[in-house]
Amino acid sequence: MVMSDDMMDAIEKENVVFLSTCSGDIPNVVPIGFARPLNDETILLVDNYMKKTRENLEKNPKAAIVLRDSLKCPYQFKGRVEIFESGEYFEDAVDWAKSVMTKLSPKAAVLFKVEEIYFIQPGPEAGKKVD
């Protein structure tokens, strides 16, 4: 599923997104500051401090994201992640995190591949899938 330019722009500019994961019967949601689109299907997230999130993703790579400012970007992104602890994506994540906060020592680059997008704007379209 492809994100629009407006969606990518909103993610790029947003300070915090909320990342939801689940591997059993207890859902988990966390704010993530290091989130930015790499292309129209992929969002890079940086694992600096993930615990339950990471445990969940190791067992079940499916996740969902909404932006903190959901009025500006009223969409729910669903997809699955791939985790990289070395290589190009990991190096990118480390460079990015350290350029913002030198003390950070990222554990992994978490690549979120967008598979489905849903409208969440209150109104008749809420909950419907974006085609």
Ligand X SMILES: Cc1cc2nc3c(=O)[nH]c(=O)nc-3n(C[C@H](O)[C@H](O)[C@H](O)COP(=O)(O)O)c2cc1C
Chain contacts with ligand X (rule: CB under 6 A): 16, 28, 30-34, 46-53
Q: Cβ distance 90 to 25 under 8 Å?
A: no
Q: Cβ distance 84 to 90 under 8 Å?
A: yes
Q: Which is nearer to ligand X, 51 or 59 (CB)?
A: 51
Q: Cβ distance 47 to 8 under 8 Å?
A: no
Residues 128 and 131: their CA atoms lie apart, in Å, by 9
Q: How far is the CB of 55 from ligand X (least distance, A)?
A: 8
Q: How far is the CB of 98 from ligand X (least distance, A)?
A: 13
Q: How far is the CB of 125 from ligand X (least distance, A)?
A: 29
Q: Which is nearer to ligand X, 24 or 31 (CB)?
A: 31
Q: How far is the CB of 10 from ligand X (least distance, A)?
A: 17
E-strand stretches of 1-131:
17-21, 28-32, 35-39, 42-47, 62-67, 75-84, 108-119
Residues 105 and 117: their CA atoms lie apart, in Å, by 31
